[in-house]
Amino acid sequence: MQLARDNQLPEARDQRVALLQKILQESSDKTTIQMIGKLSPEERARRNSWAVVVAIVICAIFCFALYKIWIIFSPKDV
């Protein structure tokens, strides 16, 4: 509608159909990504990389806390 209002639609019917199909496909891809979670391989790799970093940080914090608790509750040498 906005393309028609702004006189940006091509005159030829075939070109209009191609343009509208392109817009529909882009919108469909965007909706699929947002609602279903289908991601491109690049986006999946980026998210996996960040997941590994976060997992390592969480593991390090857990190990540090466990070490501190071990030190606190271990008997002192008298």
Q: CA of 23: how far to CAs of 20, 36, 42, 75, in Å?
A: 5, 19, 23, 70
Range of the domain at 22: 1-38
Closest of 45, 44, 23 to residue 33, by C-alpha: 44
In 6-40, which ranges are continuous DSSP H helix?
13-35
pLDDT in tens, 19-65: 889 989 999 888 887 788 777 889 889 999 999 999 999 999 999 99
Answer whether 11's CB lies under 8 Å from 19's CB.
Answer: no
Same-domain status, 12 and 34: yes
Same-domain status, 29 and 50: no
Same-domain status, 32 and 47: no
Number of domains in the chain: 2
Question: Residue 15 — pLDDT band, cuts 50, 70, 90?
Answer: confident
